[in-house]
Each structure stands twice: as C-alpha cells, then as structure tokens.
Chain A
Amino acid sequence: QQQVKQSPQSLIVQKGGISIINCAYENTAFDYFPWYQQFPGKGPALLIAIRPDVSEKKEGRFTISFNKSAKQFSLHIMDSQPGDSATYFCAPRFRNAGNMLTFGGGTRLMVKP
C-alpha cells in the first residue's frame, strides 16, 4: 500500500543550491514526521523531525515544512554541499501503533561541486 509518496526519486543540485524533497501521505493517523538520511554502506539515521502542531522546524541548513491540510511535508536543504549527497527518506509514524514508521521510497540526492 502506498501510504507515503516521496518525490522526486532522484535530484541533482549544484553546490550552494537549495534541495527540496517532498512527502505526501494519506493516513491522518500519522503523528510525527521525521526525515532520515542514509549514506552508502550505512543504515538510515534520523536527520530532523517535526510534530503536527508546528508548521516549520529549522536545524542549521535543514528545514522541515509541514502542511497538515494538504497532508504534505517537505525537507529543504539550504546551501547544499557535496557532503549532503545521500538518500533521504520521509518516515511518518502511526499514532498508537507501536511506534511504527512508514518509510517513503527514498530520494537520491547528488550535490555537484
């Protein structure tokens, strides 16, 4: 079941540019909205997360924007760097469902120097 749709599948950005990755969900029972970052040969790692009572959260160059009515949230990477090249996953959590995360299909980001 496609409960979480992530786009684009791949993204190429020049160094210093803005990377934007989007996640659309269907289930209104999601209550926590994280993004994970995965480098080759490593497991995904929590990057940044937002709760639904907030519309935006910023941590350094990374910002989550959350639109509850549209059931969408996005990751913005400002001043993108080659070291940001990785695969990014949105992974919203089901409320009261054993802390289950539902991972999107992933976005492979390449930042060109």
Chain B
Amino acid sequence: DAGVIQSPRHEVTEMGQEVTLRCKPISGHNSLFWYRQTMMRGLELLIYFNNNVPIDDSGMPEDRFSAKMPNASFSTLKIQPSEPRDSAVYFCASSLGSAQEFGYTFGSGTRLTVV
C-alpha cells in the first residue's frame, strides 16, 4: 500500500486565491481526518469523516474552509479566499476504527504558504 497520499506537497498562493488540498486515504480505512500544524498552535484537528460522512467540523476555523469526501478514496480541503494566516502544514490521516492496534496513518502533508 502506498499509504496516505496528499497533493500537492507544496503550494504557494497569493492572498485571496482559492486553494484546494487533496487526499487519498488508505484503501479500506473508514475514517479520515484533516489536521493543520503550526509552530504556535501545534496539531489542530479541522474536521473528520467516518464512512465519508462529516462527523465533527468544529475545528474548521471559519467559513472560508470547507471539506468534502465524495467517496471512500478521495477527500478535499478547500480554502476560499486564502489569507496569510492560513499558512501552515496541512495533514490528512486515515484509520480503520475496528483495528486491533488502532492508529492513524498520516500523509506527508501539504505545506501551504499564502503571500
């Protein structure tokens, strides 16, 4: 298995532009999580899905952020319009809730810079 795949790895955009981050979870995993990591705030959970359904989006900073999971193999996190304070590393993680040894598998992240 190739693991959790995120794209792009790096994104530099201008303030006000729309940004779309993509994630392909591990096949067979039924939960998907989007995190944001910054030096100041550490790892923050933005939203998570279970069986493609959003369960908790209380971590989404504001209406500029939206996430979708149209099927079990794909999810997107969109920021529109982007702002410099959105600059961070965004991680996607997936898990299989019923696994004996439960754990999240993280992707390598997307480093977003908004100038």
Contact = CB atoms under 8 A, between A and B. Distances in A.
Interface stretch (B60-68, B69-77, B103-111): B103-111
Interface of A: 32, 34, 36, 41-46, 49, 89, 91, 93, 98-101, 103, 105-106
**Size range of the chain B interface in the assembly:** 20 to 34
A60 to B, nearest CB: 16
Given A34-B103, A43-B93, A43-B107, A98 B43 contact: no
B55 interface: yes
Given A98-B31, A103-B45, 4 more contacts: A41-B109, A43-B106, A99-B97, A105-B42
B43 A89 contact: yes
Give the secondary structure class of A's interface. loop
A36 B42 CA distance: 14
B95 A99 contact: yes
A101 B56 contact: no
Given A43-B108, A43-B109, A103 B42 contact: yes
Contact of A106 (B43, B107, B109): B43
A101 B101 contact: no
B31 A99 contact: yes
B52 interface: no
B43 A100 contact: no
B87 interface: no
B55 A98 contact: yes
A113 B59 CA distance: 40
B50 interface: yes
B108 A41 contact: yes
Given A32-B102, A105-B42, A100 B48 contact: yes
Contact of A44 (B50, B56, B101, B106): B106
Best-surrounded residue of A34, A43, A49, A98 (most CB of chain B within 10 A): A43
B42 to A, nearest CB: 5
A91 B33 CA distance: 14
Nearest to B50: A98
Contacts of A46: 103-105
